[in-house]
Amino acid sequence: MSTKDEILIVGGGLNGPALALALAQAGFAVTVIDALEIDPRENPDFDGRSYALALGSQRLLDGIGLWDRLAGDAQPMLDIKVTDGHAGHGPSPFFMHFDHREIEEGPMGYMVEDRHLRRALLDKMRETDGVTLLNGKSVTGQSTSATGVSLTLDDGSQISGAIVIGCDGRSSGTAQRAGIKRTGWDYGQTSLVCSISHELPHNGVAHQFFMPSGPLAILPLTGNRSSIVWSETTGLAHEINALDDDGYLAALQPRFGDFLGEISLAGKRFTYPLGLTLANAMIADRLALVGDAAHGVHPIAGQGLNAGLRDVAALAETLADAKRRGEDPASPLVLARYQQWRRFDTASMALATDTFNRLFSNDNPLLRLGRDIGMGLINAAPALRRGFIREAAGLSGDLPRLMRGRPL
Smallest gap from Cβ 97 to ligand FAD, in A, equals 19
Cβ count near 147 (within 10 Å): 11
Question: Maximum distance among all alpha carbons in the chain?
Answer: 64
Q: What is the DSSP string of 81-96?
A: EEEEEETTTEEEEEEE
Dihedral (CA of 90, 93, 95, 101) sign: positive
CB of 166 to ligand FAD, least distance (A): 9
- 227 or 318, CB closer to ligand FAD? 227
**Which C-beta is closer to ligand FAD: that of 38 or that of 327?**
38
CA distance 395 to 404: 8
Opening angle at CA 90, ends 88 and 91, nearest 5: 140
Q: Report, in Å, the least distance between residue 179 CB and ligand FAD.
A: 16
Applying CB under 6 A, the residues found at the interface with ligand FAD are 10-16, 33-36, 49, 51-52, 138-139, 167-169, 173, 191, 193, 229, 272, 291-292, 299, 302-306, 308
Nearer residue to ligand FAD within complex by CB, 94 or 316: 316
Q: How far is the CB of 58 from ligand FAD (least distance, A)?
A: 11
Is 90 or 273 the residue whose CB approaches ligand FAD more closely?
273
* Nearest-approach distance from CB 243 to ligand FAD, in angstroms: 19
Closest CA to 77 of 93, 53, 56: 53
Is the Cβ of residue 190 or residue 318 nearer to ligand FAD in the bound state?
190
Q: What is the DSSP letter of 149?
A: E
| Strand locations in 100-240 (E) | 109-113, 131-135, 139-144, 149-153, 158-161, 163-166, 182-198, 205-211, 214-221, 225-233
CB of 12 to ligand FAD, least distance (A): 5
Ordered DSSP codes for 222-244: TTTEEEEEEEEEHHHHHHHHHS-
Kindly tell me which of 214 and 329 has the beta carbon lying closer to ligand FAD.
214
Give min distance, CB of 174 to ligand FAD, in A: 8
Q: Which residue's Cβ lies closest to ligand FAD? A: 13
Distance between CA atoms of 37 and 302, rounded to whole angstroms? 28
Nearest residue (CB) to ligand FAD, 108 versus 323? 108
